[in-house]
Structure 1
Amino acid sequence: MNRNLKNAVIAFLVPLPSILFYLSFLRNFESAAIADGSGAAALSPVWAWCATHPLLLANVLFFFNVNVVFWVVSQCISSHWMIDLYWTVIPVMLVYYYANFPLAQFDGWRSGTVIVMTWLWSLRLTHNYLRREKWQFGAREDWRFTDMSRQYGGNWWWMSFFSVYVSQQVFLMGICLPMYIIHTVDKPLNVWDFAAVAVCLTGIVVAYFADTQLHEFVTRNEVLEGLGKPKVPNLDRGMWSYSRHPNYFGEQLWWWGLALFAWNLGHGWASAGALVNSLCLAYVTVLVERRMLEQEYRAEAYRLYQKTTSVWIPWVKSSAFAAKDKST
């Protein structure tokens, strides 16, 4: 079995413990409901706890199946690549988990709309991930994890459990809180729901085109490098002429659109996950730009790019520097 196929098989098998446990819980609840008409009295203490603590159960399943199992697998294969792929999959699993929970109550139109949009978001991000990795599973891990492994040396094997996996639980469970709220409040649709849909879809579209333009830029540079020609130092065309990180901007629109659903349902606190994610992405932006400036062939062009172009929110170029940019 070649490496790509082996990694693909691992990726498809690794979430099975959580999926099988949840399906077993649903079967037991359904059987108990048939037995006594409500589903509560006939449940064992373990299943009864699961039925009354959906958010805690989701965190428990995440801890054992992602934090522990993914970490053990990463130690066996000496790579943390799998968490990047599952960033695109776990929100889909969570929205179905909340929607199918036995005691869930919600508006069917709102739930169905969010499920469809979550699929669109996931398909876009999964396609971009696999396209970027040249359709290879596990070819490489995130460069930030590689840098941290060098930084922490012999301690990285245990520190990675917290830095790579426990931290992902905070981020992913936090930003997906609106999905939980959407499936605990049965309230008719209103104008704010349509506004939330507009924000979410705008984010998906912006991120798709920004990532596609970036992919085309990287591909062209790879061709130029193969021909022995100088690479283009910086992408400053298309959406990238208005924002230095339009892909990040689109991604944040998606998560804040979901937060708007929760706010509309009277649970503004559920936007805390989107806020934390935005703050972390701001830090990642600093790391990415620092990395760009460390590459000698593009440092000067990128410094000018920083002076003329907005960081996240698309905006017109700074006129004082834009004129200089055109003249060079």
Structure 2
Amino acid sequence: MSTAVVGALQAATVVVAVRSGRRDYADGVWGPGLAAVAVTGAVVGRGDPWRRWALAAATTAWATRLERLMLGRLRGADEEDERYTEFLEGDPTPVVVAKVFGTQALAQILVSAPLQLAAASPLPRGRRRWLFPVGLGVMVLGGVVEAVADRQKAAFTAEKQRAKDAGEEAPEILDSGLWGWSRHPNYFGDSLVWDGAWLAAAASAPGGWTVPAPIAMSYFLVYATGAKRTEDRMEERPAYRDYQDRVAFFLPRPPRSR
């Protein structure tokens, strides 16, 4: 069922993306796809109802906030994200569908494996069942960290634009708030969400075997689409190199003194 739901969402996005020439619309279906899997599991699953509906609610809340952010970015750009243009240069439509939408569909099925298993599994009676509320708490914490980090970044960007418009010296680097403890606190918060989903699923013994899911998500966030790519774009700036020397890459810690 989850595979069918993800496939339908990706297929619909393919039609819109190809017709409009905006392959970056794939970004807009990442969150909704994962939320759809969680809600589908809650509806048709036979596992513990409290857990499957709590995970569906937490995942949907995370996806809704992310979707607002993604839609704002997509609507605010007149052209396709250059990352997609460079990655897909010269590729025919079938290759584009496979490289972008097919790969994303497989990633969604993998990352959502704990949600699927939790929806199908009963909770044990022993102490292990407490992994469910602990995992749910980690999901909520991760969502809050990600949301606060994104809000701080948006405020910084707005202040930078205001200073530029006023002819004032604009700040080069955001190194306050959560961004003073991690260079990528939004991605770190995102990873916590999926670590928490795995913990909640691991309350049932088979759930522990879905550990490749949060590992894969962390890999995507750090190497495939997130933090490392940002570092590659920014590290040529002297101010950013100083920032790298002072602030942790991913896992938060107090900043080093200058």
Please indicate, yes or no, whether the TM-score normalized by the shorter chain is above 0.5: yes
Q: Percent identity?
A: 25
Query: How far is the alpha carbon of 1:245 from its aligned partner?
Result: 0.3
Pair 1:61–1:90, CA change in 2 (3 A): closer
Distance 1:291 1:208, change over 3 A: same
Which one of 222, 231, 249 corresponds to residue 282 of structure 1? 222
Tell me if structure 1 keeps the 8 A contact 2:132–2:201.
no
1: CA distance, partners of 2:164 / 2:94: 38
Structure 1 residues 192-243: Cα deviation after superposition (integer angstroms, max 9, x where no partner): 1121011111101100100000011111112222233343111000110000
Among residues 114, 137, 141, which one is paired with 2:55 in the alignment? 114
| Aligned match for 2:212, one of 272, 280, 284 | 272
- Per the TM alignment, residue 188 of structure 1 is displaced from its structure 2 partner at its CA by 5.1
Does 2:121 match 1:182? no
Q: Tell me whether 271-280 or 224-233 shows the greater mean CA deviation.
A: 224-233
Matched, 1:77 2:23: no
Unaligned 5+ runs, structure 2: none
* Partner residue in 1 for 2:46: 105
RCO higher in 1 or 2 (8 Å CA, sep ≥ 6)?
2
Aligned match of 1:45: none
Q: Distance in 2 between matches of 1:178 and 1:140?
A: 36
Aligned length: 252
Q: Give CA-to-partner distance per residue, 1:166-193, whole Å, 9 cap, x none.
A: 1111221111111111111122573211
Report the CA distance between 1:271 and its aligned residue.
2.4
Measured against aligned partners, the alpha-carbon deviations of 1:45-88 in whole angstroms (never above 9, x if no partner) come to: xxxxxxxxx4xxx324433x244442233221000233222222
| Residue pairs, 1:1-328, within 5 angstroms | 54=1, 58-63=2-7, 65-101=8-44, 104-132=45-73, 136=75, 139-149=78-88, 152=89, 154-155=90-91, 157-187=93-123, 190-266=129-205, 267-283=207-223, 284-294=226-236, 299-318=237-256, 322=257, 325=258
Contact 1:207 1:249 (C-alpha < 8 Å) held by counterparts: yes
Cα distance change of structure 1 residues 140 and 246 upon mapping to structure 2, 3 Å threshold: farther
The unaligned stretches of length 5 or more in structure 1 are: 1-53
Q: Counterparts of 1:99 and 1:61 in 2: how far apart (Å)?
A: 13
- Alignment check: 8 A CA contact 1:310 1:317 kept: yes
CA deviations on 1:86-129 (whole Å, 9 max, x unpaired) are 2221222111212222xx31112112211221222123212333
Q: What is the DSSP-based 3-state SS (H/G/I as helix, E as strand, rest coil) of the residue aligned with 1:183?
A: helix
Query: Structure 2 vs 1, CA of residues 225 and 163 (structure 1 numbering), >3 Å: closer, same or farther?
Result: farther
C-alpha displacement at 1:141, in angstroms? 4.1
Q: State which structure, 1 or 2, has the greater radius of gyration over its C-alpha atoms.
A: 1
Q: In 1, distance between residues paired with 2:188 and 2:171?
A: 24
1: distance between equivalents of 2:149 and 2:82? 20
TM-score (norm 2): 0.88
> Following TM superposition, by how much is the alpha carbon of 1:291 offset from its aligned partner in structure 2, in angstroms?
0.7
What SS class does the counterpart of residue 314 from structure 1 fall into?
Answer: coil
Deviations 1:245-282 (A, max 9, x none): 00000000001100112222112222212211211222
Q: 1 CA distance for matches of 2:48 and 2:155?
A: 41
Counterparts of 1:180 and 1:123, CA distance in 2: 19
**Cα distance in 1 for residues equivalent to 2:155 and 2:91:** 38
Q: Residues of 1 paired with 2:56 and 2:34: CA distance?
A: 10
1:192 and 1:145 map into 2 onto residues whose CA distance is 39
